[in-house]
Amino acid sequence: MINEDKKVNANSKNEQLEYFRSADSEDKELTTNQGVKLSEDEVSLTAGERGPTLMEDFHFREKMTHFDHERIPERVVHARGFSAHGEFELYESMKPYTKAKFLQNPNVKTPVFTRFSTVVGSRGSKDTPRDVRGFATKFYTEEGNFDLVANNFPIFFIQDGMKFPDVVHAIKPEPHNEMPQASGAHDTFWDWVSQNQESAHMVMWLMSDRAIPRSFRMMEGFGVHAFRFVNDEGKAHFVKFHWKPVLGTHSLVWDEAEKLGGKDPDFNRRDLWESINMGNYAEYELGVQILEEKDEFKFDFDILDSTKLWPEEDVPVRIIGKMTLNRNVDNVFAENEQVAFHVGNVVPGIDFTNDPLLQTRLFSYTDTQLLRLGGPNFHEIPINRPVCPFHNNQRDGFHRQTINKGQVSYRNNALAGNSPHTVDEKNGGFAHYQEKIEGRKIQSRSKSFEDHFSQAKLFWNSMSNAEKQHIIDGFSFEVGKVQYKPVQQKIVDMFGKVDHGLAAAIAQKLDVSVPPANIQSKVTKASPALSQENTPKLAETRKTAVIISDGFNGAEVKKVIENLQTAKVQVAILSDRLGSITADDNSTLKAKHTFLTDSSVAFDAVYIAGGTKADKMFEKKAKMFMQEAFDHFKPIAVSNEGEQWFKEKQLPSKTGVVINKQQPDDFSKQFIDAIAAHRFWDRSIS
């Protein structure tokens, strides 16, 4: 265990976890859980060779009982997730705004654990559905654990947690037939949306590219709620938290996401796992939007409304630090499944606001962990333990691990000198921010929460033409799966209040009536920060398939690969078989991928170099690979036989297609620039 007087640093959590690790792959003697060495582990004890199994076989009973109880209830939402360890490094002190110690000293690195997740699907569902993504981070600070329980959207479906069971029930598989899995493309969800128009803004995000992220490493995170920073003088500011991926925010295309769900349902988790193992760590800068309390009512929306964002052009995001995820988990169950996040886990200097959705979440997280993890001691599970000491008079319960010595388990007491004792605020004790509250007990919401369409229109105005088309396609697919025609009409009418052109386009796809133009929102403002077209675009860590057959141009291909790797692009050699592929100069490259094991949806770009000994089947497979990459707007490079195959496919030489008409270095540079651009939306699909 960690020593109580030891200073917390970036390695503190790893050192703490080391106590609990077991290297089972080492040469160990097989024993029962009680330490009894075993001579047999594959045959149960029976009365004779063909007789019944005997109850006295204690090892069989122990082994089978443990197996029968291996599973715990999966999360109701966010069941499908994957995690990694890392560290957080502060760029500048936030002392003027908060007394939280981990936000004071740029020289201190704080250990963190982050879990990414989908929301709707079960634990065994795919990584790439159209869905919100969770982005939850546990900071193991010297003052206790701070959990930033974020999503990859800055807003939510509802304004009050009273509706949370309803939206989840509606979007989950329909109870009469348990379909569809991990999808909102069905009647009950869209029926709920049509009856709850506060969801309009969130649904716009859900139909956008943001709902199908390319990678956890290329996904923004948002704390959603307005929190408070409180400094040493007791002065408070409203704050919203942002994670900005260093690689930029990028997405899949819908057809690609659907195919990946079948070809590699672990696509996003595999990407994170492999990237960290290769040293391509996931990096995110932490940003904060800070508002003075006097500015609470200066906007045309309520800053405590979780269906609204604070436009970055009005409240700039201040970048204050960076998180680096640099170590994979050792055991998915022990860490990823047993980690317990809670929006109520805060430290001195961070406090809550009256956001009604936030307030209800403060109850729900503890409640769900009690069921999932078997009792009140889930904080003692290694992944959840703070790295600072903890002492209180809480005792007993399921899975208690602490052995508390002494006769006293209450306050106030004289027998133990009133230990453990409270700590005043000046010495680090948490003190709730004092806010004057007056009012009647009432079940009603402020009129400042009533505008449901202005920010939905702001989002629409901020999209590029390609992004707008993707939103129309998203609606057309999802609502097109609805069987009850009146619900389709209600959805089109509802989003006619956002934008008439949007509604008309959806109506045409669904064969329903177009709502009148005069009901659309009058908002003309845009927020460029909301468009992924304005995100950083880098070639680093992008996966490129290099397709070669025997007889490929060895000098050229090896030079291009060298240039790609210098630019930190991941290169995968793909052919019709695994193993060595021989070049025209008798050198070889080893193929670790084939047309059977991988397809273009697994890569960000493709370089088809060909080979003089490629047969007709190889040509056919290479052309199919090229066509699919082209249809998904990905960068393509072709040379030698690859150029001929490209011409035979009669694909237009639009942007993002690099044909080798120059020296390998220039060819490589053009291709690397195309890889960085990510997609080429102006390309015609043939």
Higher-pLDDT residue of 83 and 23 is 83
Q: 646-663, pLDDT tens digit by residue?
A: 999 988 877 899 998 778
pLDDT score at 235:
97
User: What pLDDT was estimated at residue 26?
Assistant: 76
Nearest CA among 213, 233, 232, 229 for reference residue 221: 213
User: Rounded to 5 degrees, what are φ and ψ at 61?
Assistant: -65, -40
- Which residues are the active-site residues? 78, 151
306 has pLDDT over 80: yes
> What angle, 0 to 180 degrees and rounded to 10, lies between the N-to-C axes of helices 485-496 and 465-480?
150
pLDDT at 684: 60
Question: For residue 48, is it left (φ>0), alpha (ψ between -120 and 50) or beta?
Answer: left
Cα dihedral 159→160→165→167 (10° resolution): -10
Q: CB-based contacts of 144: which residues, under 8 Å, 6+ apart?
A: 345, 347, 386, 388, 390
Q: Using CA atoms, how far apart are residues 385 and 2, in angstroms rounded to an integer?
A: 11
For 392-448, the DSSP string reads -S----TT------SS--SSS-STTTTPSPP--GGGT---PPP------------GG
In the block, tokens 């129309």 appear at: 472
- Cβ burial 451-464 (10 Å sphere, 16+ → b, else e): bbbbbbbbbbbbbe
In three-state form (DSSP H/G/I as H, E/B as E, the rest C), the secondary structure along 376-398 is CCHHHCHHHCCCCCCCCCCCCCC
Distance CA 463, CA 478 (A): 20
Lowest-pLDDT range, 216-230, 239-253, 394-408?
Answer: 394-408
555-565 pLDDT, tens digit each:
999 999 999 99
595-620: pLDDT as tens digits? 999 999 999 999 999 999 999 999 99
φ/ψ of 66, rounded to 5, equals -65, -45
Query: What's the CA gap between 593 and 617, in Å, rounded?
Result: 16
CA-closest candidate to residue 2, choices 111, 106, 99: 111
Give the confidence band of 2 by pLDDT, cuts at 50, 70, 90.
very low
Is residue 24's pLDDT more than 80?
no
Give the single-character DSSP code of 643. H
Q: Which two tokens stand for residue 49?
A: 């060779």
List all residues 6 or more positions away from 405 whose beta carbon is below 8 Å from its beta carbon. Answer: none
420 preceded by cis ω (within 30°)? yes
Looking at per-residue pLDDT, the higher value among 5 and 389 belongs to 389
CA 289 to each of CA 220, 285, 524: distance values in angstroms, whole numbers, following the listed order? 15, 13, 23
Beta carbons of 46 and 53 less than 8 angstroms apart: yes
pLDDT at 1: 40
Q: What pLDDT score does 686 carry?
A: 43
How does pLDDT run across 122-144, given as a tens digit for each residue?
999 999 999 999 999 999 999 99
Residue 361 pLDDT: 94
The answer to whether the beta carbons of residues 226 and 355 sit under 8 Å apart is: yes
Q: Using DSSP, state whether 657 is helix, strand or coil.
A: strand
For the chain, percent of residues with pLDDT exceeding 90: 90
Name every residue whose Cβ is closer than 8 Å to that of residue 424 and which is 6 or more positions away in sequence.
Answer: none
Mean pLDDT of the chain: 95
Residue with more model confidence, 22 or 184: 184
**For residues 352 and 317, what is the distance between their CA atoms, to the nearest angstrom?**
20
Q: What does the block give as tokens for 603?
A: 């890569």
- Residue 217 CB: number of other CB atoms within 10 A? 24
**How far, in Å, are 315, 472, 531, 532, 605 from residue 209 at the CA level?**
24, 11, 10, 8, 19
Tell which residue, 639, 628, 625, 678, has the closest CA to residue 656.
678
Distance CA 295, CA 238 (A): 9
Predicted confidence (pLDDT) at residue 567 exceeds the cutoff of 80: yes
Which residue is it, tokens 């094991």? 597
- pLDDT of 630 strictly over 80: yes
3 state SS of 675? helix
Q: For residue 3, what pLDDT band results from cuts at 50, 70 and 90?
A: very low
Mean pLDDT value of segment 253-274: 97
Alpha helices in 155-288 (DSSP H): 164-171, 187-195, 200-206, 254-263, 267-277
For helices 616-631 and 641-649, the axis angle rounded to 10 degrees is 60
List, in sequence order, every residue forming a beta bridge with 377; answer none if it has no partner: none
Prediction pTM value: 0.95
Residue 368 CA neighbour count, 13 Å, CB half = 20
Residue of 164, 110, 117 lying closest to 136 (CA atoms): 117
Q: What is the SS3 assignment for 324?
A: strand
Residue 575's contacts (CB-CB under 8 Å, 6 or more residues apart) are 547, 548, 549, 581, 591, 593, 594, 618
